[in-house]
Amino acid sequence: MAAARTSLGRVLPGSSILFLCDMQERFRHSIVYFPQIVSVAARMLRVARLLQVPALLTEQYPQGLGPTVPELGAEGLQPVSKTCFSMVPTLQRELDSRPQLQSVLLCGIEAQVCILHTTLDLLERGLQVHIVVDACSSRSMDPCPLFLGLAYSQVDRLTALARMRQSGAFLSTSEGLIMQLVRDAAHPKFREIQKIIKEPVPDSGLLGLFQGQNPLF
């Protein structure tokens, strides 16, 4: 009898969903690389719409933290208000209504709080989680003396990515996930998607996190 194979983390449009977490006005000036991560998340949403991948949007305490920023391009999505760090409790009914769901593509903030909590809850439900690493970030803070050259926020971001990977989540870039979703250059939407992936992707600070002998990866 063959041994069970480790999940390969394949992503298919018919069994995937895009989660967009808390990209709101009050975070605009406090999250490192905020415009860049919103731009990448918007890229993911454009592709999701082309490939008919459903998308869900949350807002953390919008009365105090404001609405979703317009540049995300989330018109037509009904934001779900939450106070829990995880997106899962407020989206429970949506998840339960999709028995074919296997993979969640996750973008947003903050990596060490809502993204991490959401990831752990989704993994506990038996779902595959794909973190869009160039569409996740953390707050801006002072330099950290333990990791020279990195702010505390980037240490939080880096450690959260490592923690989620340890727990079984997949780390990928937006382009990597987009190409998994489209699969074939013969896809009827490929030319439209090709235009999107040819657009310059903004630097969200990942090169600095992955350079050198990084003990967390």
User: Which tens digits make up the pLDDT trace of 52-103?
Assistant: 999 999 999 999 999 999 999 999 999 999 999 999 999 999 999 999 999 9
| First vs last C-alpha separation in the chain | 34
Q: Residues of the chain with pLDDT > 90: what percent?
A: 77
What class is the 16-201 domain? alpha beta
Q: Is the dihedral of CA 138, 9, 18, 208 positive or negative?
A: positive
Give helix 34-50 / helix 174-182 axis angle, nearest 10°: 0
As a whole number of Å, the CA-based R_g of the chain is 17
Q: What pTM, to 2 d.p., does this model score? A: 0.90
Element (H, E) at 173: none
Residue 217: its pLDDT value, please?
55
- For 120-160, what is each residue's pLDDT tens digit? 999 999 999 999 999 999 987 544 344 344 445 688 899 99
Residue 24: its pLDDT value, please?
97
Q: Is position 22 annotated as part of the catalytic site?
A: yes
Q: Which of 22, 121, 134, 156 is catalytic?
A: 22
Per-domain boundaries in the chain: 16-201
Q: Is position 195 annotated as part of the catalytic site?
A: no
Q: Which of 21, 107, 114, 136 is catalytic?
A: 114
Q: Is position 189 annotated as part of the catalytic site?
A: no
Alpha helices in 20-151 (DSSP H): 34-50, 62-65, 92-96, 116-124
Q: Which of 82, 107, 121, 134 is catalytic?
A: 82
